[in-house]
Chains A and B, each alone.
Chain A
Amino acid sequence: MPDALATVRPAVPNYGIDADRVGGRDSVVAAAKRRWEGRYAVDEFGGDPHLQDFLFAPVVGRIPVHLEGAEHLPREGGALLVANRGPMFTEPFVLSGAVQRAVGRRLRLVGLPNPPLLGVFAHKLGGVGRRAGDAAAVLRAGHLAAAPLAMQISSTSAGEAPRPVIAATLGFPLLPVAVRPGGPGGVPLRPWAVTVGAPLLPPDDTEPGDPLAAAELAEQVRAEIAAMLHGARGE
């Protein structure tokens, strides 16, 4: 299959703010001055790295997390992380904090709600639309993205995998991730436990967008996440 990573583009000037890596935080006065002077950039997905460094990174960076499998997280280039999701939509933010601490990279969250006004801030803080093509564009731009499994009542079970997103992003590393609250019965009293599995790739002769390969990969990633969640429960 064509090398999807070959189309990754170089970073563009961003007033000293890295669009992919979490940077230092301005003081309130310096941040306000920077905003007033317009010396910040947005990316084509509506992300605002300066605002992310100022508002989002400090918050998710404080979520207590115990991370396993950090060595699987790529230090550069695009990759899709697929994680389980409970009813409260907290898992993507926990995962974002874990990635930030492990490799210092921003995580783009696929499929965040996009209501008026709130959607603007969701995009500025790293959200991406629900469409599979948009998720693929994020990876081609060299970012890390996270797509959730279908929502489950229990935050420790694995729902259906996002097959259209997986089909659109075939060729990029696909990492299964299990996110579990640390306390008994799913209560987030102790640090969250995040386990990152080894990257999954389709067979070498897979065509981009191959629906059958995507379906197999979707089932494989769901099974991997379920195994990681069940393994943790059995401990």
Chain B
Amino acid sequence: MRVLVTGMGGHLGTRVAQLLEARDDVEAVAGFDFVPPRRRLSRSLFKRIDPRDRDRLVEFVRGFAPTAVAHFGVYEPGARMGVRASVEASDDCTVNALGAAVRAGALDRVVVRSGLEVYGRGGHRHEVPDEHAPLGPTTPYGRICLDVEAHAAGLARRHGVPVAALRFAPISGSRAPSPLGRLLRLPAVPVPALADPPFQLLHTDDAARAMVAALVRQADGAFNVVGPGAASPWQAARLGNRVPVPFVGPGWLVATRVAELAGSPVPPHVLELIRKGCVADGGRAESELGLTDLVPTQEVVADLYAWASVTALPGSPTVAAPLRGAG
């Protein structure tokens, strides 16, 4: 299996590349992103390419001729870029990378990153949707994910390549940058005054494992991948010893502005999660991808706060002295 990892520079893409490197059935791993990988990779080929640079991207992908694509080039608004840039980068990356991979002629499987946001929340939507529930995203990130799934489904239809869409719960981990993680780590966390909706999280390592499992099993179709159990905004804030600050109606405009000033931009899908929840039925991924030991949501929340509570130690004078002298 020759695997192309799009978005390899992100925490998830790098982790997937590491897991693939350790497998004997993976002949080669290559990837690109506009930032370098977060961890050391031993046998992966990485190219720093902006996904919007079509010519360089297509040349690189066709030269590698992948048999499998792990598509992480789906950029969550608020994680590393704004909403508009995320839409543009995700769309370009999906169309260019998947198109070039197909034209290279060896492709036999594709797995794309998606999110529970494709289901949307509120109205007549299911509270705990499974993969057969109607799709109706209510946020820009949900629409990004739906577009990615639609592009990939078109590819599957035209070329007969099995395509799996992994609809991840919001991914969180002690080291992964995420807008939700930043919001929950604020000293005071905005919460809905008249509700306490459940939400699920997925640990970064579990998301990477799910991607590898879907690739290896040549999975086809949609899979909800969620950490078992759930948390709620009030409960999560108190678990992290934060102060829950209740908001209602227009008060949320103030809450998001204040959070942004405090260094935690709140994109629409994170605001929706806090106000209306975000859960799904992950039974299919457990039974068909063998993901039976995912980290429960409560432990992901605890991990988030455990990282935040690490205190910085003062620098050692024996190390600091030569540096000062050198300066």
Contacts and interface: CB of A to CB of B under 8 A. Distances in A.
Given A36-B238, A44-B230, A134 B128 contact: yes
Contacts of A140: 281, 283
A117 B194 contact: yes
B21 interface: no
Given A7-B283, A9-B283, A40 B235 contact: yes
Contact of B239 (A14, A38, A43, A131): A38
A37 B237 CA distance: 9
A135 B198 CA distance: 16
Nearest to A119: B195
B128 A9 contact: no
Given A9-B283, A38-B237, A38-B239, A134 B230 contact: no
Given A41-B235, A44-B230, A140-B283, A12 B298 contact: yes
Nearest to A19: B229
B97 interface: no
Interface stretch (B30-38, B60-68, B129-137): B129-137
A166 B231 CA distance: 29
A37 B302 CA distance: 12
Contacts of A35: 238
Nearest to B295: A12
B219 interface: no
Contacts of B129: 133
Interface in B278-309: 279-281, 283-284, 286-287, 292, 296-299
Contacts of A40: 235
A12 B279 CA distance: 15
Given A9-B286, A131-B126, A133-B128, A120 B237 contact: no
A44 B194 contact: no
Contacts of B230: 41-44
Contacts of B126: 129, 131, 133-134
Interface in A109-140: 116-117, 120, 124, 128-129, 131, 133-134, 136-138, 140
A62 interface: no
Interface string B179-198: 00000000000000011111
B9 to A, nearest CB: 32
Listed residue (B127, B226, B297) with the most chain A CB atoms within 10 angstroms of its CB: B127
Of all A-B residue pairs in the complex, the 6 with the closest CB atoms, nearest first, are A38-B238, A38-B239, A12-B229, A44-B279, A137-B128, A12-B228
